[in-house]
């Protein structure tokens, strides 16, 4: 008889892992504090190895039915400079998180998983058989990170590419196409303004910017507004007795466009060690150790490159120069894409 597993956190990593465990016919319960559907701060952009994992779980056709958009081109903007319309090295998938998470939750239940929503985990994350998929982690020492993320959906926005990335003095804003004529407007900013009204105003960009021009006629979609603070990027590491996946391990800077894929990949990396534990072939400590080592090998390089790119883009006057270089030399664009995947 298989040992039962409990996943705490019903975001992208937790739901993907739950579905994969049920495909292996393993007993699993997923605990989620919130309810579906709900919006999350997210670029809503899957680019990389995560696509193949979702396809192996027979989820791509279901996502097509739910309104998946395939994105093929991107443009970058910084001050008065902008790149050409660049073809993505790999076609990306764009889908709203409220739609995707609800779909994954439904599939998890259809395949025999036990889902408990509106339930907070009150036990220790180091308990045997418990997988932490609760999202973002705190900075080292328990301190809050310096970054905050904001998201809104908009209508009546005319994009010049499937994905646009606009750099501002305080951060950057990504615009991506969604189904139904909507556009995801998601921003990451270094510091939070003093007044709440100022927070979402940053998503519109400064006067005279290409971002302000894009959103001048936009209408915001009710219920899509959300924010998250205290973000920290690029640090791998968990307790020796804790099994963690997704953003609970580490977050890559969103400008790389690889965060959703890494969450899916993280779930996939945990599948074999957890299956071995459930079958009694390895101890819990060995399973946790294997997951940490697999994650380190898979993600350390990407996290390092992501931190370097983000740091460079926030040096004075550096973002316009990078955009200009991307416009002139395609190899820089290819390098940045490859190193973060």
- Distance from CA of residue 34 to its chain's centroid? 18
User: What's the pTM value of the predicted model, to 2 decimals?
Assistant: 0.92
What whole-number distance in Å separates Cα of residue 143 and Cα of residue 63?
37
What whole-number distance in Å separates Cα of residue 155 and Cα of residue 145?
32
What whole-number distance in Å separates Cα of residue 307 and Cα of residue 286?
30
SS3 330: helix
CATH class for the region spanning 5-339:
alpha beta
Please, what sign has the CA dihedral across residues 232, 340, 260, 294?
negative
What whole-number distance in Å separates Cα of residue 219 and Cα of residue 182?
10
106-152 per-position pLDDT tens digit: 999 999 999 999 999 999 898 999 999 997 655 554 445 578 899 99
pLDDT at 1: 74
pLDDT at 331: 67
pLDDT at 330: 60
The two three-digit tokens of residue 329, written as one number: 């030399």
17, 29 in Cβ contact below 8 A? Answer: no
pLDDT at 31: 98
pLDDT at 141: 46
The two three-digit tokens of residue 116, written as one number: 């408990």
Q: 136-172: buried (b, 16+ CB within 10 Å) or exposed (e) per residue?
A: bbeeeeeeebebbbbbbbbeebeeebbbbbbbbeebb
pLDDT at 137: 58
pLDDT at 64: 96
The two three-digit tokens of residue 49, written as one number: 């190895």
- Closest-CA residue to 173 (of 70, 255, 72): 255
pLDDT at 236: 66
Low pLDDT (below 70) residues in the chain: 136-145, 191-199, 234-240, 316-319, 323, 326-331
pLDDT at 229: 80
21, 131 in Cβ contact below 8 A? Answer: no
Place of tokens 């889902």: 115
SS3 112: coil
SS3 318: helix
What whole-number distance in Å separates Cα of residue 2 and Cα of residue 262?
28
Kindly give, in sequence order, each residue whose CB lies less than 8 Å from that of residue 335, ignoring residues fewer than 6 positions away: none
What whole-number distance in Å separates Cα of residue 270 and Cα of residue 71?
29
The two three-digit tokens of residue 294, written as one number: 């697999």
Rounded to 5°, angle at Cα 272 from 253 and 292: 45
φ/ψ of residue 186, rounded to 5: -130, 130
Place of tokens 């953003």: 247
181-223 per-position pLDDT tens digit: 999 999 998 765 555 446 678 888 888 899 999 999 999 999 9
């Amino acid at each position: 008889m298989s040992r039962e597993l409990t996943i705490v956190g019903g975001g992208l990593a937790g739901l993907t892992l739950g579905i994969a465990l049920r495909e292996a016919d393993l007993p699993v319960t997923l605990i989620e504090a919130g309810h579906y559907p709900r919006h999350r701060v997210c670029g809503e952009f899957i680019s990389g190895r995560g696509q193949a994992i979702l396809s192996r779980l027979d989820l791509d056709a279901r996502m097509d039915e739910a309104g998946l958009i395939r994105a093929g081109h991107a443009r970058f903007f910084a001050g008065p400079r902008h790149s050409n319309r660049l073809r993505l090295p790999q076609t990306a998938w764009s889908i709203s998180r409220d739609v995707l998470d609800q779909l994954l939750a439904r599939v998890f239940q259809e395949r025999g998983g036990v889902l408990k929503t509106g339930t907070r985990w009150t036990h220790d994350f180091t308990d045997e058989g418990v997988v932490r998929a609760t999202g973002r982690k705190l900075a080292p020492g328990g301190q809050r990170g310096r970054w905050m993320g904001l998201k809104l959906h908009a209508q009546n926005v005319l994009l010049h590419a499937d994905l646009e990335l606009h750099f501002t003095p305080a951060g950057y804003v990504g615009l991506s196409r969604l189904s139904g004529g909507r556009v995801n407007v998601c921003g990451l900013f270094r510091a939070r303004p003093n007044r709440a009204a100022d927070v979402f105003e940053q998503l519109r960009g400064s006067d005279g910017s290409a971002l302000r021009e894009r959103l001048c006629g936009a209408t915001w979609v009710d219920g899509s507004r959300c924010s998250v603070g205290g973000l920290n990027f690029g640090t791998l590491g968990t307790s020796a007795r804790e099994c963690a996946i997704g953003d609970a391990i580490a977050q890559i800077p969103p400008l790389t466009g690889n965060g959703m894929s890494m969450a899916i990949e993280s779930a996939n990396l945990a599948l074999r060690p957890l299956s071995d534990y459930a079958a009694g072939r390895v101890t819990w400590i060995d399973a946790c150790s294997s997951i940490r080592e697999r994650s380190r090998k898979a993600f350390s390089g990407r996290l390092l490159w992501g931190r370097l790119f983000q740091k460079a883009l926030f040096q004075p006057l550096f973002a316009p120069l990078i955009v200009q270089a991307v416009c002139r030399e395609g190899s820089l664009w290819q390098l940045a894409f490859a190193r973060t995947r």
